[in-house]
Amino acid sequence: MIQIQKRFFIKCFLLFSCQVSVAKVPTVLPDVIVLDDAPVYGSLDSGVHASGHTVNRLSGELLETFQVDKTEEIVSYLPNVQSNRLDAGIGEDFIVRGFSLGGRLLLDGILDNQSYYLRDPATIESVEIIKGHNSVLYGTGAPGGSVNYITKKPLTTQQNTLSFGIGSFDRKRFVLDSTGPMNQNKSVAYRSIIALRDSNTWKNNVIDKSYNITNSLLWRYKPNSHIITALELSYQANPFDFDNVYANDAPVYDVSYVHPSTTADRRFQRASLDWQHALTTQSKLDLKLNLIKGTREERQIGFFYLVADDAPLVGYYREVDESFDQSTLKLAYNHLYQRSEFTIGYARNETNAYYQNARAINKFGLDIYQPTFDFTLPTSAELTPREGYIKWFEQAIFLQSVSSITDNLEISMGVRKNQFNLDVQRNDVTTGETEQDNLSKSFSIRWHPQKNLEMYASYSDSFLPNSGLSKEGDFFDPQIGVQKELGWLFITDNKRLKLNVALFDITQSNLLIKDPNDPSYKVLAGLKQVTGTEIQAQLKLNNQLSIMVNMGLLDPRVRKSDNGTDGNLFPSVPQETGAVMFEYLVTSSISTNLGLIYQGKRAGDLNNSFFVDAYTRYDFAANWQVTKDTSLNLSVQNIMDIDYVTYATYKDFMRFGNPRTWALSVKKSL
């Protein structure tokens, strides 16, 4: 089926390129400092990244309109993107084009907090999802893509807003955002954001309580040169909420396995520097730096695993005491020639996590359908200590060039030499270790045959480390991802229609599987493959009504394994996805949004032993500009109050979407 679709779209691609054409849409975002060259077209946008990859965007305004507390609640409006399980809800992750990103999310182009962290939407200007990970640009990563949070920066126009909201599950939300110039010539500007949230959730004994204070300062000390510093303090008290289960051929909805004594206390601090310095009119230095520290104290009480459909869940108790530090740096020299741009740089990341934890398993049990918590918790003497550390170090040098061969043809090439070290110890025993080098490559072509059409093709490598030793006692080579993508972007002269189509093929090789000649060892012979199509259309029918439509088709398959899963679908990855968003301006002061998300049927595990039903979710939002300075916002997620699964990988790793939730807020300009 996928092959038929690919042939059809290739024919359309060739036919269309002979009849119509596109010009590049210029990037114009006043007062925003960190930009790339992909245009922002609307609240849900698609375009072409500088690397020749399809890029989707969620605007900060859309996150605010639907009043989401996590990006994962709305990200599936984009084709072939799903939210992912990352340690039972205390971290955020995504599945892009079939592959889990493993929590390796970016912040303004470099690694964000790699501990258990949920970024507050109040700090986000936009979220860009770059389809297909490019290790030349971003280093280690899963082959499906990259998610980059663009933070709110200081502006040179004074803006002060205060908002307060309430909602389902005793939700209370407060945000203060103030920005503006600090001197007469506007060369210095500030931004201060305070975001507070306190609510319960649909799961009993699971709260969502947090605060975030982010202060940033901009200094434009000469033309094309600036320094932006930021200091972020955050606290999160949302407990480890465990997962739900699939028993007796159905997901078990409306049940919480979280003990009332479950607690969480996570605190993080981030200091960041973004320095762009123009050496000449043709050259500049670009430095980005993140320094992150954090602590984590938790009491996790729930279940460990499912034994059988009608047997009690095995109890789990864990005390967590962890500290975390991370330093991420990217330094680049950029030179602009008459028809080309050349960049050489150095990137480095060092992440260290230390823990003194203790846990007990099977000291109690929980009924699958009616869990009760009238049991005695394990004593300190019954806990098994688990002390250790995780140390991850990565550094690289990279080269990137972009050349305009003609006025309508652009070629980009890049290469990156990467060194990766990993050391994992638990109770003085090494459980994971590797030292690996990798050479990543990328190449893309972007062609504008006429003013309304851009056609693009790209090839890119990505890598992920393999831990352990081969039979010969050597470290394994890393997993290698390769994406090949072909696409076109069409925009009408009046900008009322924008259409983006992409075809892609991704393979991930060098996966560890058992040595067929000696199963006590492993070899690099595993292989996964995803082929697919994405279509995103944005249509402005008139000055009142705009429609966005997304469609995604995937064929995600295990090609070679050691567990009898050859040919199986990836767990939790639908083969068909779709979304529609209507934006309607009722009057000059009232706007509405109606959204629909469709996620197709998905395998529940790698063995494809069960499947999770497809679902269609409806969302609604309305904004009323009551006065020049005051607005009201109402949003309802999951209008029909359906039960649905957002992620599944085993029968006891099931995550459910929110039931019907509403939020109402008032926003005041000061």
Return the number of other C-beta atoms located less than 10 Å from residue 606's C-beta.
18
The pLDDT of residue 42 is 60
Tell me the one-letter amino acid at 522.
K
CA-to-CA dists, residue 560 to 292, 378, 391, 513, angstroms: 39, 43, 31, 9
pLDDT, tens only, 176-232? 999 999 999 999 999 999 999 999 999 999 999 999 999 999 999 998 999 999 999
pLDDT, tens only, 319-336? 999 999 999 999 999 999
Cα distance from N-terminal residue to C-terminal residue, the chain? 56
Token output for 576: 């068909």
> Which residues of the chain fall short of a pLDDT of 50?
1-41
pTM of the model: 0.91
Q: Is 448 left (phi over 0), alpha (psi -120 to 50) or beta?
A: beta
- The domains found in the chain, sorted by start residue, are 2-669 (2.40.170.20)
pLDDT, tens only, 141-162? 999 999 999 999 999 999 999 9
Token output for 65: 């309109």
The pLDDT of residue 89 is 67
| DSSP string for residues in 420-470 | EEEEEEETTEEEEEEEEEEEEEEEEEEE-SSTBEEEEEEEEEEEE---SB-
Quote the CA–CA distance of 517 and 107 in Å, as a whole number. Answer: 45
- Collapsing DSSP to helix, strand or coil, 585 comes out as strand
The pLDDT of residue 44 is 81
Among the listed residues 366, 89, 376, 118, the one whose alpha carbon sits nearest the alpha carbon of residue 261: 376
The pLDDT of residue 30 is 28
SS (H, E, C) 382-415: HCEEEEEEEEEEEEEEEEEEEEEEECCEEEEEEE
- % of residues, the chain, pLDDT over 70: 94
State CA 232 to chain mean position distance: 20
pLDDT, tens only, 13-58? 333 333 333 333 222 222 323 323 334 446 788 888 888 999 999 9
Quote the CA–CA distance of 432 and 485 in Å, as a whole number. Answer: 34
Return the number of other C-beta atoms located less than 10 Å from residue 46's C-beta.
30
Token output for 434: 């590797």
In this structure, the chain runs to a length of 670
Quote the CA–CA distance of 650 and 607 in Å, as a whole number. Answer: 9
Strand partners for 615 = 599
Residue with tokens 């389809």, as numbered in its chain: 131
Burial (CB count within 10 angstroms: exposed 0-12, middle 13-18, buried 19+), residue 176:
middle
Q: Are 170 and 200 in contact (CB under 8 A)?
A: yes
DSSP state of 91: S
Quote the CA–CA distance of 113 and 117 in Å, as a whole number. Answer: 7
| DSSP string for residues in 499-558 | EEEEEEEEEEEEEEEEETTEEEEEEEEEEEEEEEEEEEEEEE-SSSEEEEEEEEEEEEEE
Q: Going by DSSP bridges, is the β-strand pair 545-560/518-540 parallel, antiparallel, or unpaired?
A: antiparallel
Residue with tokens 């499912």, as numbered in its chain: 306
- Collapsing DSSP to helix, strand or coil, 639 comes out as coil
Q: In sequence order, what E strands does 237-378 have?
A: 246-247, 250-251, 263-278, 283-305, 313-336, 340-366
Q: Are 383 and 319 in contact (CB under 8 A)?
A: yes
Q: Are 191 and 155 in contact (CB under 8 A)?
A: yes
DSSP state of 592: E
Among the listed residues 667, 653, 659, 666, the one whose alpha carbon sits nearest the alpha carbon of residue 200: 659
